[in-house]
Structure 1
Amino acid sequence: MPFSDYTTALVTGASTGMGAAIAERLAKRGLTVHAVARNEERLAELADRTGAVPHVVDLTDTAALTAVVRDLKVDVLVNCAGVSRPGNILDSSEQDIDELVDVNLRGLLQLTRLVLPGMVERDRGHVVNISSIAGLYNFYGHTVYHATKAAVHQISRQLRNDTVGKRIRVTEICPGRVETEIFGRNLGGSPEAMEEAWNTYYEGYESLTTDDIVNALDYAIETPRHVNVGMLELMPTFQVPGGLTFDRREPTA
């Protein structure tokens, strides 16, 4: 269903990284974008830059989410918010598990539950879930994150069954390594941690950029009404699944 059929979008995780880039692209496409995130300062910057409507909301607060969407007719829902923690199940804390499940899974389910009935009633809408190759492939560490993203993959499939017979489209965008702040946050979020993460995970690698993710979303939404792009797996050319092998390249002149 082309962009001309849609007027209103809601994007979670909209203060940074992929979410902010998606919100900006949808605003450029002429949609009224409701941007949901916890970081008030960055949401304000996004609003100034794009005209998006900021909502400072924690995805774990279902009552607050309900208030945000109560009077909205959302045509495009982008579930982009997510958190990660390093380590496997042996060194995951109770808090780690609760936070990842609450944000990556429970928040997505609750918001989708709130928004989807309106789409069904209007016979128009597109749900875009940002998952991860961690939900499809096994590699060391981040066990809880893998589990939540695997659930997002199955939810994306199931929503097609839940809305059969309606003009509701569901797209899962499943990226490999993207240049965002997620690794730096895993290391503590300080400027030093961000620098360490860049040197470890991005320097010398040809990773995906947020533009790559936005262009994939743009393609999925812009396809004709009768086409549902169910899943787009995007990986850097030098990254392969099944072990997270990533060939490091020396910079070229």
Structure 2
Amino acid sequence: MEPLKGWTALITGASAGIGEACALALSGAGAQLVLAGRRRDRLEALAAKLRTPSHVLELDVRSRSEVEAALGALPAPFAEVDILVNNAGLGLGLEPAQSASLDDWEAMIDTNCKGLVYVARVLLPGMVQRNRGHVVNLGSVAGTFPYPGGNVYGATKAFVHQFSHNLKADLVGTRVRVTDVQPGMVETDFSLVRFRGDAERARKVYEGMQPLSPADIADIVLFSVTRPAHVNINVVEVMPADQGFGPFNVKRH
């Protein structure tokens, strides 16, 4: 059964982790894919694994001009994008706000917020014109639940949540749907990037517990985009069973 046969999906940050898992899941359901990311070699390796046709797109979502040019010049068989999985994003550092790096903050805002809206803005008009489409934005539980050192990362994911809701408000009356998927702890390269390649520190993040896998999140994305056309999954918040809600941060004197 191929519920997405005849559909084209574009996935940002497709070269690893959740993006790669989404590519495998959507291809398995029959969709052809545009694999967007900064690491062409990994995108090409992924494309070789897929069951359906794919187009590799080396793309840095932080560049508005690059996004507009690349997405405006997709080859004809891939030009009508039905599903956008806005997955490209990152967290950098865990320092408190008063000592955090402004460069890190800018990088997170440029990728998690600006890059996400650049891609969405280019693809939405076509979806609305064809009256068919689905935007899946990858948020995070960090957009709802703050933690020390989460500062701008959490704020960018709160932006993703509110942007998704406002997109849905604008698209009422069309058959273009919007879903915000908000994972908790997922074992990917996320922590390795956050700690700038410190593999030991990244490993400790998941030590002694079972985190979610990229395939878990891809399964939720696939479920959301294969509902009947009149059904919109607004938000999915998901955590591993070993993760919960933290206590209040109280400083005792």
More deviation in 47-56 or 130-139? 47-56
What secondary structure is seen at the aligned counterpart in 2 of 1:119? Answer: helix
Tell me whether 1:221 sits opposite 2:229 in the alignment.
no
Deviations 1:32-76 (A, max 9, x none): 110111112211211222253111111111222112221411100
More deviation in 231-240 or 64-73? 64-73
Instruction: Tell me what 1:134 maps to.
Output: 142
Alignment of 1:33-112 (within 5 A): 33-50=33-50, 51-70=53-72, 71=74, 72-86=79-93, 87-112=95-120
Deviations 1:206-230 (A, max 9, x none): 1111111011111111111111011
More deviation in 80-89 or 166-175? 80-89
CA contact (8 A) 2:33 2:55 kept: yes
| Deviation of the 1:142 alpha carbon | 2.2
Aligned residues: 240
Instruction: Tell me what 2:151 maps to.
Output: 143
| Deviation of the 1:243 alpha carbon | 4.6
Query: Tell me, which stretches of 5 or more residues in structure 1 are unaligned?
Result: 245-253
CA contact (8 A) 2:4 2:26 kept: no
What is the TM-score when the length of structure 2 is the normalising length? 0.90
CA contact (8 A) 1:88 1:144 kept: no
Instruction: Tell me what 2:251 maps to.
Output: none
Rounded Cα–Cα distance in structure 1 between residues aligned with 2:86 and 2:201: 28
Tell me whether 1:210 sits opposite 2:217 in the alignment.
no
Q: Which amino acid aligns with 1:222?
A: T
Identity value in percent:
38
Deviations 1:83-111 (A, max 9, x none): 11122321222211211110000010111
Q: Pick closer, same or farther for the CA change 1:40–1:233 going to 2, 3 Å.
A: same
What secondary structure is seen at the aligned counterpart in 2 of 1:148? Answer: helix
Rounded Cα–Cα distance in structure 2 between residues aligned with 1:6 and 1:158: 28
Deviations 1:176-231 (A, max 9, x none): 00010111122222xxx224412x11232111111110111111111111110111
Q: Pick closer, same or farther for the CA change 1:57–1:204 going to 2, 3 Å.
A: same
Q: Pick closer, same or farther for the CA change 1:243–1:74 going to 2, 3 Å.
A: farther
